[in-house]
């Protein structure tokens, strides 16, 4: 069964850092791009970042560019999102999603999400 499972969320202070992880199973991880999407409490979905299957191409929403870094370890079937200089507006459920293709494409399999709360 194709699955992705996020971890690493929690309570963090403004200005701090967090690294989210997403463990993938049931498919050839390196053959697919991967994406992070977030959802603030009571709000809609926001596309955050994506990375190609090889890891050679990365993409970011303007709202997170310069603070977030997406990466992947294809030997460990794991996707990461490094979040620096945390702000209150980063509080959200962060979803990891498998893309339909190796390149930037829509998201066909989603995890259950990991919650990030930024508060002092």
Residues that bind another protein (CB under 8 A): 35, 37, 44-47, 50, 59-62, 95, 100, 104-108, 110-113
Minimum CB–partner distance for residue 113 and another protein (Å): 6
Which residues sit opposite 46 in a β-bridge? 38
Minimum CB–partner distance for residue 17 and another protein (Å): 24
- Report the residue number, 78 or 114, with the smaller CB distance to another protein: 114
- Report the residue number, 60 or 80, with the smaller CB distance to another protein: 60
Minimum CB–partner distance for residue 11 and another protein (Å): 20
- Report the residue number, 72 or 111, with the smaller CB distance to another protein: 111
Minimum CB–partner distance for residue 110 and another protein (Å): 4
- List, as one string, the DSSP characters of the chain: --EEEEE--EEE-TT--EEEEEEEESS-GGGS-EEEEEE-TTS-EEEEEEE-TTS--EEE-TTTTTTEEEEEETTTTEEEEEE-S--GGG-EEEEEEEESSSSS--EEEE---EEEEE--
- Report the residue number, 27 or 47, with the smaller CB distance to another protein: 47
């Amino acid at each position: 069964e194709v699955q992705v499972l996020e971890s690493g969320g929690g309570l963090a202070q403004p200005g701090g850092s967090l690294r989210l992880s997403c463990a993938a199973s049931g498919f050839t991880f390196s053959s697919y791009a991967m994406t992070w999407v977030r959802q603030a409490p009571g709000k809609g979905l926001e596309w955050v970042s994506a990375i190609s299957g090889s890891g050679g191409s990365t993409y970011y929403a303007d709202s997170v560019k310069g603070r977030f870094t997406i990466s992947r370890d294809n030997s460990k079937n794991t996707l990461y999102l490094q979040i620096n200089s945390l702000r209150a507006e980063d509080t959200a459920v962060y979803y990891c999603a498998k893309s339909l293709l190796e390149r930037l494409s829509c998201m066909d399999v989603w995890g259950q999400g990991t919650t990030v709360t930024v508060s002092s």
